């Protein structure tokens, strides 16, 4: 394994759900612009739900302009200018636009506090127990905003697997040209690590240098989080070596392709009495390169599940057991929606229950 001097470090194989390396992965730290991963995630969730459109335009108010014009990383939004959601997301993701984050937050929720409340609600839903957001852009706030490497990995995995099309559209770009100004993306993986497509860099004097990095090769995705570097060049060199080691030292044994139906779960109070369980993305068994691949599989869920269930909701786990290894839990999602039962379905369910079925 290469040297990784970051005080906080985590490397996981997304397909196999396996932690390849960790150091203080649950320690809380200041994320700086890594905060913007959640900002984009909230926007993606709203777009998926039909509550936000990419062609909607939000205005840069005079007050927001005075506060955020040329503060840190910026996309140089002009006072009273109107910018589309798509343009704002491009600026936030590619050049870490602090001004773009605030305009998006105010446009979506009416105020920054209302938007950060949405960010914290999303964090709770994802089970991010060591995270709190006080700002949409990660600007220094005396530690009121904090995250952990494990939570960032959870968030970034959800960002990619729940919104693959939006992720592919907005992440992985090396440059941004906007309002006649061209700026580079400072992700040190781009152009150096094959398959690198994200996720986000972060730096303030308060936080040091951090990075959430991701790369995919032959359908296999690795996710890396490092935090607390005091030198950007060291972060760049070590993070590249870190990901390359993950691809070289471990190998994936495919289990199920994305969308494969793996089992069923019982449902209570729904139009259907069962729901099919599917792989949300390609699932694999990750093992040290050259080791054997004997394993057993089991589906586990807390049941019966209660309706309503939305298509794509994570509702169960695939348990993978390998002799001599800790068991691995891989997510399974609902393959279809199950609405709350109507009168006829309730009658049917009651009669079947009386018959012991």
Phi–psi pair at 177, nearest 5 degrees: -115, 120
Q: Which residues pair with 9 in a beta bridge?
A: 23, 226
Q: Please state, in angstroms and rounded to a whole number, the distance separating the CA atoms of residues 145 and 7.
A: 19
Taking CA atoms, 324 is separated from 120, 173, 329, in Å, by 38, 41, 16
Maximum C-alpha span of the chain: 71
For every one of its 357 residues, what pLDDT tens digit does the chain have, with 9 covering 90 and above? 999 999 999 999 999 999 999 999 999 999 999 999 999 999 999 999 999 999 999 999 999 999 999 999 999 999 999 999 999 999 999 999 999 999 999 999 999 999 999 999 999 999 999 999 999 999 999 999 999 999 999 999 999 999 999 999 999 999 999 999 999 999 999 999 999 999 999 999 889 999 999 999 999 999 999 999 999 999 999 999 999 999 999 999 999 999 999 999 999 999 999 999 999 999 999 999 988 778 999 999 998 999 999 999 999 999 999 998 889 999 999 999 999 988 887 777 777 777 766
Has 96 been annotated as catalytic?
A: yes
Q: Which residues 6+ apart lie within 8 Å of 120 measured at CB?
A: 131, 132, 133
Determine contact, residues 73/200, Cβ cutoff 8 Å. no
Determine contact, residues 166/135, Cβ cutoff 8 Å. no
- The total number of residues written for the chain in this structure: 357
Q: Which CATH architecture has domain 257-354?
A: Sandwich (2.60)
| Predicted pLDDT of residue 357 | 66
Tokens of 199: 């996720």
| Predicted pLDDT of residue 134 | 98
Q: What angle do CA 257, 15, 152 make, to 5 degrees?
A: 140
Q: Which residues 6+ apart lie within 8 Å of 49 measured at CB?
A: none
Has 200 been annotated as catalytic?
A: no
3-state secondary structure of 26: coil
Write down the catalytic residue from 36, 200, 214, 317.
36
Has 233 been annotated as catalytic?
A: no
Write down the catalytic residue from 96, 156, 214, 239.
96
| Predicted pLDDT of residue 326 | 86
| Predicted pLDDT of residue 206 | 86
Phi–psi pair at 254, nearest 5 degrees: -60, 140
Helices marked H in 130-265 — which ranges? 149-162, 164-170, 232-249
Q: Domains of the chain: which residue ranges?
A: 8-249, 257-354
The fold for domain 8-249 equals Beta-lactamase (3.40.710)
């Amino acid at each position: 394994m290469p040297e990784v001097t970051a005080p906080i470090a985590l490397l996981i194989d997304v397909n196999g759900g396996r932690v390849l390396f960790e150091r203080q992965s649950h320690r809380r730290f200041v994320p700086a612009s890594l905060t913007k991963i959640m900002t984009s995630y909230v926007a993606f969730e709203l777009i998926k739900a039909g509550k936000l459109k990419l062609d909607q335009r939000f205005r840069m108010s005079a007050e927001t302009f005075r506060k955020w014009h040329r503060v840190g990383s910026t996309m140089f939004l002009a006072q009273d200018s109107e910018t589309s959601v798509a343009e704002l997301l491009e600026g936030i993701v590619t050049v870490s636009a602090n001004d773009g984050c605030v305009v998006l937050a105010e446009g979506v929720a009416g105020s920054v506090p209302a938007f950060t409340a949405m960010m914290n609600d999303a964090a709770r839903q994802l089970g991010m127990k060591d995270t709190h957001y006080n700002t949409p852009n990660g600007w220094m706030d005396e530690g009121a905003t904090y995250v952990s490497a494990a939570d960032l990995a959870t968030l970034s995995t959800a960002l990619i697997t729940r919104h693959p099309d939006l992720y592919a559209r907005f992440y992985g770009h090396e440059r941004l040209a906007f309002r006649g100004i061209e700026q580079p993306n400072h992700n040190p993986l781009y152009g150096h690590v094959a398959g690198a497509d994200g996720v986000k860099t972060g730096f303030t004097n308060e936080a040091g240098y951090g990075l959430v990095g991701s790369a995919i090769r032959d359908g296999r995705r690795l996710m890396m989080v490092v935090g607390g570097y005091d030198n950007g060049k060291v972060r760049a060199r070590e993070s590249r070596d870190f990901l390359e080691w993950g691809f070289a030292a471990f190998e994936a044994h495919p289990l199920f392709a994305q969308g494969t139906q793996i089992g069923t779960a019982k449902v209570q109070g729904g139009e259907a009495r069962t729901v099919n369980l599917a792989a949300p993305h390609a699932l694999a068994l990750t093992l040290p390169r050259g080791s054997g691949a004997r394993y057993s599989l089991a589906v586990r869920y807390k049941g019966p599940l209660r309706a309503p269930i939305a298509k794509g909701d994570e509702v169960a786990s695939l348990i993978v057991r390998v002799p001599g290894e800790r068991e691995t839990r891989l997510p399974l999602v609902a393959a279809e929606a199950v609405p709350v039962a109507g009168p006829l379905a309730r009658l049917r369910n009651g009669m079947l229950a009386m018959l012991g079925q």
